[in-house]
Amino acid sequence: MKEIKHENFQENAFEMIGKDWLLITAEKDGKVNTMTASWGGVGVLWNKKVAYIFIRPQRYTKEFVDFSDRLSVCVLPNSYRKELSYLGNVSGKDEDKISNANLKVQKYEDVPYFDEARLTLICRKLYAQDLKEEYFIEKDIIDKWYPQKSNGRNII
């Protein structure tokens, strides 16, 4: 993995997250799990360069992210679209989806990431909070995106 400094980060966050998609990956008790995500962001908060993600409570990967202090956010090349779709639709609780997607797990300072990634952010969690219905200003977001009231958690 080639390391780049934050100030040299040149990605278009809207494309990277909303179009290319992300793999959120963490480890718990020696097992690695990942999920595909298309919601999140990167920026500056508390005078730190940050990434933020959202994970619904029913996602198996949430257990891993909650357990670990660190995680990776990977962007794979567009040629991995089929694998990204699979990793977003199948639970690692039910099968070894990482092996089934033929991805190779590497570690950077004990944080799992994918060798195939064109970009990897190694993240340390700073903050986590469940999304609460009463704090939504636009109430139609709840009906559209959280019909089962499983609002998820924001992790910075």
**Domain at 45, CATH number:** 2.30.110.10
Structural domain contains residue 1: no
Structure tokens at 147: 């019909």
Alpha-helical (H) ranges within the chain are: 13, 60-67, 81-89, 97-100, 140-145
Q: What is the pLDDT of residues 61-90, one digit of tens each?
A: 999 999 999 999 999 999 999 999 999 999
What is the C-alpha to C-alpha distance for residues 84 and 80, in angstroms, rounded to an integer?
6
Residue 106 pLDDT exceeds 70: yes
d(CA 18, CA 32): 24
Give yes or no for a contact between 109 and 122, defined as CB atoms under 8 angstroms apart.
Answer: yes
pLDDT at 150: 73
Output the six-digit token pair for 43: 């920026």
pLDDT at 2 over 70: no
User: Which range scores top for mean pLDDT: 73-77, 139-143, 150-154?
Assistant: 73-77
Number of separate domains in the chain: 1
pTM here? 0.92
For residue 1, pLDDT beyond 80: no
Which domain range does residue 61 map to?
6-155
